[in-house]
Structure formats: C-alpha cells, structure tokens
Amino acid sequence: MERKHDLDTYKRFKKQHPAYFQAVETLGAVVRQTGPLDERSLQLIQLAAAAAIHSEGAVHSHTRRALEAGATPDDIHHTLLVLTSTIGFPTVMAALSWAGDVLESKE
C-alpha cells in the first residue's frame, strides 16, 4: 500500500508549489493530445513505466487511471507481465502486487 508519508509529502509539495503542479498537469494534457493513442493505451504505457522505475504510488495511480479509461484487470496484468524480460521477474511481481492493491479494492 502507498505509504502515508509519500502521500503527505506529495500534498504538501503541491500546496507549496501550485504553479509547478499546474505546469506539470498542463504538460501531461498536451502530450496526451499530440498523438493517436487513446487514454486506455496511454495509461497502460504509464503503468509500465511506473513499474519499471519501482514506483509503488505511480503503479497505484496508473492502475486506477487505466481502469477509469476502460482497461480491464486482464489488460493490467498483461501489461505488467510483458515487462518480465525487460525489468525482471522480481520487479514485475512487486508491480503486480501494487496493482493488486487497487484491483482488490475495486472488487
């Protein structure tokens, strides 16, 4: 589960630097709109990137966002499983566990 400390740090930083967060959010919106990929695909790509950098919070976030964009639990599992030869078995297992936190809470 996401550590409370990480979430508190994020919220505090966002409150202290609103212009920075607005710029990051605007950049995210602009890059999503510049190409042909749909939101579901974009969220699955970002989920894979989050797993690759071992970011539990980002895996939680992009799992939720992928589901909201129409991805299924099978899509999420497959996205993470195909990373095995790239990021390694232990990292994939950790990411599957983190995604599972979100998937189990949706059931």
Give the model confidence (pLDDT) of 75-88 as tens digits. 999 999 999 999 99
The pLDDT confidence band at residue 1, using thresholds 50, 70 and 90, is very low
CB within 8 A of 7, min separation 6: which ones?
A: 57
Helix (H/G/I), strand (E/B), else coil: 28: helix
| Phi, psi (degrees; rounded to nearest 5) at 55 | -100, 100
Instruction: Tell me the pTM.
Output: 0.84
Q: How far apart are CA 101 and CA 98, in angstroms?
A: 5
Q: Amino acid identity of 19?
A: A
Q: Is the pLDDT of residue 2 over 60?
A: no
What is the reported pLDDT for 16?
96
Q: Which of 13, 23, 98 is nearest to 53 (CA)?
A: 98
Which percentage of the chain shows pLDDT scores above 70?
Answer: 94
| CATH 1.20.1290.10 residue window(s) in the chain | 38-107
What mean pLDDT is predicted for residues 45-70?
97
**What's the CATH code, domain 38-107?**
1.20.1290.10
Of residues 10 and 59, the one with the higher pLDDT is: 59
H or E element at residue 49? helix 39-52
Q: How far apart are CA 77 and CA 99, in angstroms?
A: 8
